[in-house]
Structure 1
Amino acid sequence: MRKIHKVLVCATATAAVAGGSALTAVADSAPRARSTQSSQVKTVSVDGSVKGKAAPSSCKKGRICFYTGKNYAGKRCSRSVSFKEWGSKRCRTSTFKSGYNNGYSGHKGDVAAYAKKNWKGTRYVVPNKAGIHFSHARPIRSVQWF
């Protein structure tokens, strides 16, 4: 089992990711997040104590939703359970610019989204009732509720 370090911050930061491009993760109308690098996994997290704006109307209760456009616009892919790979080809091949965790409070309310299938690659932690916004479109290939 590999160690994963979760970072909860209330400050602005930008993390360098593969290919030298930048990633910015933010909670809606909240402080930005930063990342840490372990030998196997990069973890990006937003502060779960920040409530931000209401959930986008297109993201039903109990789901994690990712959008191809900024600010919850564009095509949406969503799921209510953990998965090792998107079921639809469109979601498997899309890249996303924003997402929102409209999960239930308590046990298994937070989400870890991964850039590769089978819960591998860059890990983005999206706490319950928080959004994530990317400076450049990113692949999300698998999701785990915790």
Structure 2
Amino acid sequence: MNELAQSPDVARLAAVARLLGGTSTFRKMPRSPLEAHELLLNGLPSKALVYLVANFAFLRWDDSFARAIGMSHRTYQRHTAEDIRQLSPEQSGRAWKLAEILAKATSIFGSKEEAEQWLERPAIGLDQRKPIDLLATPAGVELVEDFLARLEYGVYA
């Protein structure tokens, strides 16, 4: 695969990794979807989730967020207080997916703050459900990703 064919993946992966702390979190930034898969399979460093949460402007830890991440606030607090080093593969995948959706929404709406606010607002194209509420299941994640793709191409319904 030539460098031009890789560049959209590399740019997308870099945007996601930056939301999770970038080079301060990862020894080696993932440069392919397979490298990202391996990273998630081994478990993201807990500091990736800590970085993501610490850099939210509008999102807050509530029940919707806890379901999207697959982790209670208490478990998150234990990860930070007890210096637990790794997230489980499932928690890693959910944190990565949230960062992926946030990166995509940021590119569509023009700012991370707007993207975060969009996650919290009921959306007509999602039957008045908030995108963050749908991130608790793979089917809901797919609905949000499809809706973002429609928004990107100007198809709102």
TM-score > 0.5 by shorter chain: no
**Structure possessing the higher radius of gyration over alpha carbons:** 2
Whose RCO is larger (CA < 8 A, sep 6+)? 1
Structure 2 length-normalised TM? 0.27
- Identify, as 1 or 2, the structure richer in strand: 1
- Identify, as 1 or 2, the structure richer in helix: 2
